[in-house]
Chains A and B, each alone.
Chain A
């Protein structure tokens, strides 16, 4: 159920990225795809009633290993979040330039992209 809802979120983002005409909306759709994929990765590493992978004082390593959620997907999602910020900066810079060049955000109006 939870995995399926994440997949639905990814599909909503994919629909927006393919169908919409507005460039900024395509960027927003790509960000939504990123949200869905990150949520899916974190949900795969979730343990039912698990604690955060932080070793508190007074907690033995054995109970910690048996009770903490999976830290590896979280580390990867942390990297992905930061990289997606860089990607968003690049895409928004392109959007600003395209608006200055063509005077619109409509991608069907941008005819001379082939150089």
Chain B
């Protein structure tokens, strides 16, 4: 059994614990453990940039989620939704999972990327021409910063909009006015 399979099984176990445990704080910590494990997985899959980014993002996720749940009462809401709906959704999720597993069973064997099977793919071109066309020797940075930099621009725009939306949600005065409006509506 390879290291990759062990890591993936550990990630699945961590995910199940994170979803099923009753204490919300330990659930968040379990999610952080899954994030650290996926960072190790990236490191073994030949993606050091992704490992570093995932580690930083994971720490930020942990801080944000703990900020959301710390000093709140009633955080340990347990139990599922009503029984029949839960059974139906569990069955649907099972069907989706089985269909996905069957779909991935039709994939070509693990360890041969698309650029090995088909000649002239974009990835092979980037690998072959990147070092001579662009200065950085890291092809992932080359892709993000020069070949696909409009993609990175869109990413920055999305991140900006998300932070703007979070600030708009968390701003105090707007929220108070809205609640007053709601109270007036209730009074009427």
Which residue numbers of A lie inside 8 Å of B, CB to CB? 1-16, 18-22, 24-25, 27-29, 31-32, 35, 38-39, 42-48, 50-56, 61, 64-65, 68-72, 74-75, 77-79, 81-90, 92-97, 99, 103-106, 108
B120 within 8 A of A: no
Return the contact of A65 from the options B34, B78, B124 (Cβ within 8 A): B124
Please determine whether A47 and B112 come into contact, CB atoms closer than 8 angstroms: yes
Interface residues of B in 21-53 (CB under 8 A from A): 24, 27-28, 31, 34-35, 38, 41-42, 45-50, 53
Please determine whether A46 and B144 come into contact, CB atoms closer than 8 angstroms: no
Complex Cα–Cα for A78 and B110 (A): 21
A residues less than 8 Å from B155 (CB atoms): 79, 82-83
Number of interface residues of B (CB under 8 A): 92
**Helix, strand, loop or mixed for chain A's interface?**
helix
Q: Which of chain B's residues has its CB closest to A4's CB?
A: B101
**Nearest Cβ distance between residue A22 and chain B, in whole angstroms?**
4
**Nearest Cβ distance between residue A13 and chain B, in whole angstroms?**
7
B residues less than 8 Å from A4 (CB atoms): 101, 104-105
Return the contact of A11 from the options B94, B132, B163 (Cβ within 8 A): B94
Return the contact of B38 from the options A25, A39, A70, A82 (Cβ within 8 A): A39
Please determine whether B170 and A97 come into contact, CB atoms closer than 8 angstroms: yes
Return the contact of B19 from the options A32, A35, A42, A78 (Cβ within 8 A): A32
Complex Cα–Cα for A20 and B34 (A): 19
**Nearest Cβ distance between residue B125 and chain A, in whole angstroms?**
10
